[in-house]
Amino acid sequence: MHGALLIRGGTVVNADRQEKADVLCVDGVIAAVGADAAALAPAGTEVIDASGQLVMPGGIDPHTHMQLPFMGTVTADDFYTGTAAALAGGTTSIIDFVIPDPQEPLLDAYRKWRGWAEKSAADYSFHVAVTWWSEQVHADMGILVREEGINSFKHFMAYKNAIMCDDETLVNSFKRALELGAMPTVHAENGELVYLLQQEVARMGITGPEGHPLARPPMVEAEAANRSIAIAGVLGVPIYVVHVSCMEAAQAIAAARARGQRVYGEVLAGHLVIDESVYRDPDFAKAAAHVMSPPFRAKGHQEALWQGLQSGQLHTTATDHCTFCAAQKAMGKDNFAKIPNGTGGVEERLAVIWDAGVNTGRLTPSEFVAITSANTAKLFNIYPRKGLVGVGADADLVVWDPKASHTLSVKTQHSKGDYNIFEGRTVQGMPSHTISQGVVAYAQGDLRAVQGKGRYIKRPAFGPNFDAVQRRAATLQPTPVLR
């Protein structure tokens, strides 16, 4: 029993419409939306006054790394602190990544991550990375999809000598994903080029964080985006490109979509508002705090990403929340290639995108809902359970005060990271309340996250895309010439 909660007097915003409506949540699920909701509320129902505010689906961050062992260290936020920070910012679900070491069975890694994630305060799910190929990987992918509710597999095209996939693995894994009805996803950067450029940049005497973007220019990302999209196109499988950071990669996606291919792109809040000048900060700690891949880009790329979201050629927003503290970043003091890659943002994503997206007229509130929750729920087949304010959906909601403003800072963040890439940015629009499973998890600055309250969310295979790709393949099936 979770009890009942009535959110009264607000404007409900979904991806397809907005309307004045009350929302009643009972036992963790939305029981009523509309004028009759109050009348249906049982005795003792808790009431939130949402007048002047918006009631939206809680954010879904489809790209986080809590408690990730990476580049010789482990991220500062674990599944509890990271999801608690998410709840403080209005995000009620995350999709994190199981990342097996090469040769490690996928199921072993999956079980390890499931154990770590039991601490989560918010609902969570996993993409599983395919970092090597064998018959066992082929079999484990099947078990993960059929028994464990995994419907997406991640491929790192960068990080040579670690978790990078070669083309053989991409081809085998994409083909397997297609037969299982699971979405292949890619970190698109050409890892061979990155490896070469890192050495060339070092030979120029550049050892600091300013070398990081030089070793990972936009064409390195565009090449991998184009290659993975081409492989997916030949095989007839949909593909999702994570953290699209530059105009060239966005163009690769748009061009493929114009050819009729099912390609989807994710954008990080950081890439939308931060540019590459951060890497030239004279303070090593500040510059290193921004080292993540793909890097922040030259001015101009940010606008291209906004245009991609606005035009519908890019689909979701995420953070790639992957926090490392200054002492960890210092592992690369003399060699930028050794700085652990990653930045935070799970708490700030909604406010940053609302402020820079909706307040500037780039996005409508409904478009905001689409790119912060609904599209992700649809692509990863958990819609309408998540991503919708509607009867029967999970009562994961954010009550959004569009007039309230605050200044983002490491001093007030809940994440355990010791840096905030949005430091000093004043944003207008923030959650007054976050509701997770029908219970208030955050109210006006009071974070009530409960360790272990988050549930593992299974995602069924064969989402709506797959019926279409199967029909398309059948329609285009070549026939032999009968002689």
Judging by DSSP bridges, how do beta strands 11-13 and 54-57 pair with one another? parallel
Shorter beta-carbon distance to ligand URP: residue 18 or 228: 228
Residue 267 contacts residue 474 (beta carbons within 8 Å)? no
What is the closest distance, in whole angstroms, from the C-beta atom of residue 340 to ligand URP in the complex?
8
Which own/partner contact pairs does 174-179 have at CB distance under 8 Å and 24+ positions apart?
A: 174/231, 174/232, 174/235, 174/237, 174/239, 175/235, 175/237, 176/138, 176/141, 176/142, 177/141, 177/153, 177/237, 178/235, 178/236, 178/237, 178/469
Shorter beta-carbon distance to Zn ion: residue 22 or 189: 189
What is the closest distance, in whole angstroms, from the C-beta atom of residue 420 to ligand URP in the complex?
16
What is the closest distance, in whole angstroms, from the C-beta atom of residue 206 to ligand URP in the complex?
19
The CA angle 32-35-39, to the nearest 5 degrees, is 70
Using CB atoms within 10 A of its CB, is residue 300 exposed (0-12), middle (13-18) or buried (19+)? Answer: exposed
What is the closest distance, in whole angstroms, from the C-beta atom of residue 242 to ligand URP in the complex?
7
Shorter beta-carbon distance to ligand URP: residue 65 or 433: 65
Binding site for ligand URP (CB under 6 A): 65, 187, 292-293, 320, 322, 341-342
The residue number with the shortest CB distance to ligand URP is: 341
Restricting to residues 165-194, name those near Zn ion by CB under 5 A. Answer: 187
What is the closest distance, in whole angstroms, from the C-beta atom of residue 186 to Zn ion in the complex?
9
Shorter beta-carbon distance to ligand URP: residue 164 or 388: 164
Residue 458 contacts residue 145 (beta carbons within 8 Å)? no
Signed CA dihedral, 34, 23, 437, 123: sign only: positive
Shorter beta-carbon distance to ligand URP: residue 18 or 319: 319
DSSP secondary structure letters along 325-339:
-HHHHGGGTT-GGGS
Using CB atoms within 10 A of its CB, is residue 359 exposed (0-12), middle (13-18) or buried (19+)? Answer: middle
Mark residues 287-326: x for contact with Zn ion by CB under 5 A, - for none: ---------------------------------x------
What is the closest distance, in whole angstroms, from the C-beta atom of residue 414 to Zn ion in the complex?
20
Shorter beta-carbon distance to ligand URP: residue 187 or 459: 187
Shorter beta-carbon distance to Zn ion: residue 28 or 345: 345
Restricting to residues 39-58, name those near Zn ion by CB under 5 A. Answer: none
The one of ligand URP, Zn ion, none whose footprint includes residue 123, by CB under 5 to 8 A per kind, is none
What is the closest distance, in whole angstroms, from the C-beta atom of residue 293 to ligand URP in the complex?
4
What is the closest distance, in whole angstroms, from the C-beta atom of residue 268 to Zn ion in the complex?
9
Give how many residues touch Zn ion by CB under 5 A. 2
DSSP secondary structure letters along 70-134:
ETTEE-S--HHHHHHHHHHTTEEEEEEEE-PPTTS-HHHHHHHHHHHGGG-SSEEEEEEE--S--
Judging by DSSP bridges, how do beta strands 183-187 and 239-241 pair with one another? parallel
Q: Which two tokens stand for residue 188?
A: 């698109």
User: Does residue number 433 form part of the binding site for Zn ion (CB under 5 A)?
Assistant: no
Identity of residue 175 = K
199 SS3 class: helix
The one of ligand URP, Zn ion, none whose footprint includes residue 197, by CB under 5 to 8 A per kind, is none
Q: Which residues bind Zn ion (CB under 5 A)?
A: 187, 320
